[in-house]
Structure 1
Amino acid sequence: MTVTYDYAGKRVLVTGGTKGIGAGIAAAFASAGAEVTVCARTPPTARDHHSGDTGAVGRGAVPAGGFRFVQADVRDPSDVERLISGFDRLDVVVNNAGGSPPAPLEGTSPRLHARVIELNLTAPLLVSQCAYPLLAEAGGAVVMIGSASGARPSPGTSAYGAAKAGLHHLARCLAAEWAPRVRVNTVVVGLATTRDADTRDAGSQDAGARDLGTRGAGAHGAADHYGGRADLDGRAIPAGRMATPADVAQACLWLAAPGYVTGAEVRVDGGGEIPAWRHLVAD
C-alpha cells in the first residue's frame, strides 16, 4: 500500500532544513506540493544538492521539488521575528534545528551547555510562539523533531538529552494550550543515518550541530557508535537498520496533515535499541 499526501497550496517552514534529516523533511513536503521554506545560520551549498529559489520568503512560487532558504539563527528572537514576518500564511512548522557535540558534564564549559539548551529547547519555543498567530489562522500544525536521547539516559550529552526531554514536554503543553486551533506533535527519532554517512542520535539534525561549531550532535559516526563495528546496527536495532531522513519525513507528513491527533509522540526508532544484556546472555 502506498500512502500519498497533497500539500498543494500549503506553506511549510522547516528549521535547520538545509542538510540531513531537515533536508529530507523539506524535500518530502515539497514533493507533496507544499511551498517550503528552510532556514539555517549558513546558506546551503552545492554539496547540499538543493534546487529552487534561494531568495527571500514571499518572492513568487516555489519551483517544483525545490524550496526557499532564509538565513536565520533560531536562537535569536529578532532573527525569528524577521523569519516569520516574511510569511502571510503558514500552515506547518517543523522545528528540526538542533544538535550537540559530545559534551560530558566534566570539563565542558557552562556556556556550551547553555547553547545546547538554547538550540534544542528555547529555539523551538521561540519559533512556535512567533508562528502561532499564522498557524491558528490556518488551522495549522507544529511538528517537533525530538530524540530518543530525551527519553532515556544520554551519557556524554546530558544537556542535549535534557533539552530534548523538555522539548517533548513543551509539545504536550502547547498541544493542550493551543487546541483546537493548532495541533502540536513530536517525532521521537532514534539512531538515524544521513546522506553524509554520519550517524545521528535523534535529531542531531545537521544544521543545528553546525550552529554549535561541530558536525557531531549528541551522536557519533557509525563506526564510533558501535565501537568500530559499522555492521552492528542490524543486530542492535530490531528493525535491522537505522532510520533515514525519508522515514522521519513520512511521520512528519502524517502528523502535519489535518486530523485529530495532537500532543502525541511518534517514535521513529526501528523499535529502539536491543538492551545490552540480551547480547551478553547470547554470548
Structure 2
Amino acid sequence: MKMSNPVDFTGRVVIVTGGTKGIGLTIAQGFLDAGADVLVCGRNEPGRLPVSGRRTAVFQAADIRDPAAAAGLVDAAVDRFGRLDVLVNNAGGSPDSDAATVSPRFVEKIVALNLLAPFYMAQAANRVMQGQEKGGSIVNIGSVSAHNPQPGTAAYTAAKAGLLALTRALALEWAPKVRVNHITTGLIRTESAAGVYGEDGGAAVAGIIPMGRMAVPADVADACLYLAGPLASYVTGADLSVHGGGEFPGRYLTVKSSTRG
C-alpha cells in the first residue's frame, strides 16, 4: 500500500508567530515548502518574508501579548484563507538577567511573551479549529530551560516551564479535535545567536552535546512538520525533545577532561 506524502500541507493554513526571522522564519519556510498557506506575525514588518517558489508568506503586524491582537491575528488568517489548521507558537526569548535585581516590568514582559501570548493565541485558534471537521494542531516551541535552568534565566525558565504545563493542560481539554504538543529546543545555531556561543560560533559548545553538533533551525522546523502532520495524528500532550540528547553532565566532562590531562 502506497502511503501519501506525510509532509504535504497543500490546502492547509498555518500561523507561525515570530515567523519573520531566526527559527520562526525557517519554520514558516518549511510549511511553505510543504504546500501550506502561511501567515507570520511580528511587531514590525520585516525586510524579507519566507518564500517558496512564487508563494510568499503573508505578514500581519501584531503584538500577541495583547489578547485582542492575538485574536485578530487568527481572524486575519481565517478571513484570508477560510480556515486555520496549524498554529506554531514560536515567538519568545529573553536576554539574560540577574534574578536578584531584575525589575518587575522586565519579568512581566518575559512572562507575557513566553507564556501568556501562546495562551492567547491558542485560545483564539482553538475556537476556529473546534468547528472544523478535521480540527487542528497547535505546536508550542519551548526550551530546555524549562527542564534545566541556567543562571540568568529565572523569569524565562519559569515562563517556559509554564508553557510546557500549559501544553499538557490544553491537550487534555481540547482533544480529540485539537492536538496540542510541545517541542523542547536545546542550543540552536542561528546567525543572531552565533556570537553568544563564543568566537568560534559554537564549535566548542558542540562538544558537550551527545549528537556532536548544535541544532540548526531546520531541525526544529522538521519536528513541527511531524507534529502538525498525519504521522502524529494520535500524538497530543507530548514533549518532543529536539536538543541532540541534551548536554553531558558536568561531572562527566570534568572527569573526561582530567583523564586526558
1:237 aligns with 2:212: no
1:68 aligns with 2:58: yes
Structure 2 Cα separation of the partners of residues 29 and 72 of structure 1: 21
Deviation at 1:22, TM superposition (A): 0.4
Does structure 1 retain, via aligned residues, the 8 Å contact 2:22–2:192?
no
Structure 2 Cα separation of the partners of residues 237 and 197 of structure 1: 20
Deviation at 1:92, TM superposition (A): 0.2
Does structure 2 retain, via aligned residues, the 8 Å contact 1:146–1:187?
yes
Structure 2 Cα separation of the partners of residues 237 and 245 of structure 1: 16
State the SS of the aligned residue for 2:97.
coil
1:126 aligns with 2:120: yes
Structure 2 Cα separation of the partners of residues 179 and 106 of structure 1: 41
Structure 2 Cα separation of the partners of residues 30 and 245 of structure 1: 15
- Equivalent position amino acid for 2:57 in 1: F
Deviation at 1:64, TM superposition (A): 4.0
Q: Percent identity?
A: 47
Pairing of 1:5-44 with structure 2 (within 5 A): 5-44=7-46
State the SS of the aligned residue for 1:137.
coil
Does structure 1 retain, via aligned residues, the 8 Å contact 2:202–2:214?
no
Q: Deviations over 1:82-113 (max 9, x none)?
A: 21111131000000000111112122111101
Range with greater deviation from structure 2 (104-113 or 17-26): 104-113
Aligned to 2:219: 247
How high is the TM-score relative to the length of structure 2?
Answer: 0.89
Pairing of 1:121-200 with structure 2 (within 5 A): 121-138=115-132, 139-194=135-190, 196-199=191-194
Aligned to 2:245: 271
- Structure-2 change in CA distance of 1:230 and 1:131 (3 Å): closer
Deviation at 1:137, TM superposition (A): 2.5
1:256 aligns with 2:237: no
Aligned to 1:101: 95
Structure 1 Cα separation of the partners of residues 17 and 102 of structure 2: 27
1:79 aligns with 2:73: no
Question: RMSD value over aligned CA atoms?
Answer: 1.8
Structure 2 Cα separation of the partners of residues 279 and 262 of structure 1: 35
Does structure 2 retain, via aligned residues, the 8 Å contact 1:233–1:240?
no
State the SS of the aligned residue for 2:170.
helix
- Equivalent position amino acid for 1:144 in 2: N
Structure 1 Cα separation of the partners of residues 145 and 54 of structure 2: 35
- Equivalent position amino acid for 1:117 in 2: V
Does structure 1 retain, via aligned residues, the 8 Å contact 2:29–2:51?
no
- Equivalent position amino acid for 2:208 in 1: A
Deviation at 1:65, TM superposition (A): 4.5
State the SS of the aligned residue for 2:213.
coil
- Structure-2 change in CA distance of 1:82 and 1:255 (3 Å): same
- Structure-2 change in CA distance of 1:230 and 1:89 (3 Å): closer
Deviation at 1:50, TM superposition (A): 3.8
Deviation at 1:198, TM superposition (A): 1.3
Structure 1 Cα separation of the partners of residues 201 and 255 of structure 2: 19
State the SS of the aligned residue for 2:59.
strand
How high is the TM-score relative to the length of structure 1?
Answer: 0.82
Does structure 2 retain, via aligned residues, the 8 Å contact 1:223–1:229?
yes
Deviation at 1:5, TM superposition (A): 0.7
Does structure 2 retain, via aligned residues, the 8 Å contact 1:33–1:64?
no
Structure 1 Cα separation of the partners of residues 203 and 107 of structure 2: 32
Aligned to 2:109: 115
- How many residue pairs end up in the alignment? 245
Does structure 2 retain, via aligned residues, the 8 Å contact 1:25–1:248?
yes
Q: Which runs of 5+ in 2 are unaligned?
A: none
- Equivalent position amino acid for 2:66 in 1: D
Deviation at 1:69, TM superposition (A): 0.6
Q: Deviations over 1:17-58 (max 9, x none)?
A: 000110010000000000000001111114xx6448xxxxxx
- Equivalent position amino acid for 2:247 in 1: E
